[in-house]
Amino acid sequence: MSPPPPLEVLDVHQEFRRLRQRLVALDGVSLTVDRGEAYGLLGPNGAGKTTLVKVCLGLSRPTRGQVLLRGLDPAHPRARLRVGYLPEGHRFPAYHTGVSALHFFGRLAGLEEATLRRRIPELLELVGLSDRARDRIGRYSKGMTQRLGLAAALLDDPDILFLDEPTDGVDPLGRRHIREVLLATQERGTTIFINSHLLSEVERTCDRVAILKSGRIVREGSVEELTRPTLRFRLRLAHAPAWPLPALPGVELAARNGHFEAAAADLESLNALVDELRRQGGLIAELAPLGSDLEEVFVTLLTDENAAAPGARVGTSGERP
């Protein structure tokens, strides 16, 4: 029998009551994270991302539904063995050094002294803090503190790693370093679950992405699937006919900086445009499909009420590949 997936979220609801008001944080969330993949959770502030991470870790019990961590209830001690967690806005005591903080949290996690003597220097080197290892954390920048938090999450060589806004407040060089650490960690077989609002980082790091809106997953799929080319094209002409062109059914053509963008209702309409351009003496130098970047997909889903039904997945026949 094959082992269960590292993480399964099954129709999870989470509600809170404040001042006689019912607040719905999660509204029927379901997802599965496969072994060894990097899975990204995107959403605006208040969408329920941190709530979902806490439910997945057993730090909060869902109102309804079930979470399975390696096939077990997250509250079970065995479920959380070798699970790393970097919370959002974490704090280390300022009087600790990088070395002493990792030693302290390693002992809390039950790691032996021999293991810590080996792991702490390795991890400080990995996150680029070897030269500041003996400095007090009170002198660390936000980016350095974030990298130390990542080292702490990796202390037990986890096979599942939860990261809540791992590059929050980190400069571009620091984000790149963290991204390289995460890719190397994934290559060693670790499953990574990232909650972030930094779309570019998720796009570069994750294999699959879910977009959370008002406690519901409104789209899920690989980055490639979510941003696949549409019937929009960049058109460059070595010789352009008189502008504007006559209106063609099913085609919208707009002039951009040095090129045109064409939106076609179907391939027949696109070919009709090409035929018309040639008929008028146009010489086509480039015709390339345009894809949406993850930011465009994200903004569209959050601003268009009809962009996707809750739980919609991208893939053949609506199934996750």
Q: What token pair was written down for 320?
A: 């996750």
pLDDT, one tens digit per residue, over 250-287 is: 888 888 777 888 888 888 888 988 888 888 888 889 88
**Sign (positive or negative) of CA dihedral 100, 171, 185, 70:** positive
pLDDT, one tens digit per residue, over 19-75 is: 778 889 999 999 999 999 999 999 888 889 999 999 999 999 999 999 999 999 999
Angstrom distance (rounded) from CA 215 to CA 199:
18
Higher pLDDT, residue 40 or 298: 40
pLDDT at 321: 32
CA atoms within 13 A on the CB side of 186: 20
* CATH H superfamily, domain 7-82+158-225: P-loop containing nucleotide triphosphate hydrolases (3.40.50.300)
pLDDT at 210: 93
Average pLDDT over residues 100-106: 96
DSSP string, 77-106: GGGGTTEEEE-TT----TT-BHHHHHHHHH
Asked if the model's pLDDT at residue 293 lies above 60, the reply is yes
Three-state SS at 244:
coil
pLDDT at 224: 81
**In the chain, where the domains are located:** 7-82+158-225, 229-291
pLDDT at 316: 33
CA angle 86-28-7, nearest 5°?
A: 40
The pTM of this model reads 0.77
> At 153, which helix (H) or strand (E)?
helix 142-153
The pLDDT mean for the chain works out to 86
